[in-house]
Amino acid sequence: MATSAPIAVIIPALNEEQTIGRVIEAIPGLADRIIVVDNGSSDGTSEVARKCGAEVISEPIKGYGRACLTGMHALIGSTPLPFAVVFLDGDLSDDPGEMESLLEPILKDEFDMVIGSRVRGHPEPGALTFTQRFGNWLSCALIKIFFGVTYTDLGPFRALRWSSLMRLKMDDPAYGWTVQMQVRAARLGMRIKEIPVNYRRRGGGKSKVSGTVKGVIGAGSTIIYVIIKEAYNTWLETQVGEPRGEEI
C-alpha cells in the first residue's frame, strides 16, 4: 500500500531488549516516523531501538498511557503533522506487518479509528490467557451497556487519524489507556472499525500485566474504573452541557 500521507508509529516499551529490534524491522516501509518511548527500562531497549533506526524518547515515570502520551507530545508541532498514528506494543505479540490493514480504511476516509481485534483474529495457543479473555469480555460488555457500542477487544494494536486522536483529549496514564480511547471515540460518534489480527505469545522478556497476579488485578480494576468514570462524565455532560477532559 503506497501512500504520501505521513504515518507515525508509537511503541511504548519497558525492558523489551529481546524483541524491540524485531518489531521495528517488521514495520512496513510506509511509516515515516517510528517513536519508541522507553518507559524506564533497565536493559538495552533504547540502544537496540536506536540501532534499528527508531527515534527513542525517555519517559522514566512508568505508566502505559503516560508512555503513549509522551510519544504523542513528540509529534505535536512536527512538520508535517502525521495524518495517522499507529500504536503498537514492543513485545512482538502483534504482527507489525498487519499495519497496512489497519491504516487502509483510514487512508480511504472510511473510518477514524481501526482496532486490531485479537479475539476476532487467530491468537496463538496460550497467547491470550483466560483472565485476558474474561477481562475483554467484561469490559466490552460494560461499554455496550453504557455507550451502546460493540467492541470485542481492548487490544493495543490500533490506528487513528491524527485529528481524531486530538479530539479524544487522552489523559489516562496507566492501563486504562486503550479503553479510555475506545469509550471516548464512542462518545464522540467517531467512525470505528475492528479488524481481525493475529496474536502471538510475546517474543521474549516478561509480561508486565498477564504475567503477574498484581498486574492482572491492577490492570483489570483500572479498566473498569475508567469505564465507570467515563460513563459518569457522560451523564454530567447531559446535566451541564459541557464536555469534560483535558487537552494534552
Segment 140-197, tens digit of pLDDT: 999 999 999 999 999 999 999 999 999 999 999 999 999 999 999 999 999 999 999 9
Q: Do the domain assignments include residue 2? A: no
Cβ contact 153:119 at 8 Å: yes
This prediction has a pTM of: 0.90
16, 31, 76, 161 from 82: Cα distances, Å: 26, 10, 9, 8
Q: Which of 135-139, 180-184, 220-224 has the lowest mean pLDDT?
A: 220-224
Give the list of residues 6+ apart from residue 1 with CB closer than 8 angstroms, or none. 28, 30, 100, 103, 104, 107
Q: Do the domain assignments include residue 248? A: no
Q: How many domains does the chain divide into?
A: 1
Cβ contact 140:153 at 8 Å: yes
Amino acid at 84: A
Q: Which domain holds residue 95?
A: 7-240
Mean pLDDT of 122-145: 92
Q: Do the domain assignments include residue 247? A: no
- pLDDT digits 0-9 by tens, 22-78: 999 999 999 999 999 999 999 999 999 999 999 999 999 999 999 999 999 999 988
**Separation between Cα atoms, residue 239 and residue 236, nearest integer Å:** 5
Phi, psi torsion values for 189, nearest 5 degrees = 70, 30
Question: 3-class SS at 92?
Answer: coil
pLDDT at 241 over 50: yes
Cβ contact 139:227 at 8 Å: yes
Give kind and range of the element (H or E) at residue 8.
Answer: strand 7-13
Amino acid at 194: E
CATH code of the domain containing 104: 3.90.550.10
pLDDT at residue 246, rounded to an integer:
43
Cell 479488524 belongs to which residue?
195
Question: Is the backbone peptide bond immediately before 80 cis, with ω within 30 degrees of 0?
Answer: yes
Cell 451502546 belongs to which residue?
148
Q: Do the domain assignments include residue 236? A: yes
Using 50, 70 and 90 to split pLDDT, how confident is the model at 217? confident
Q: Do the domain assignments include residue 177? A: yes
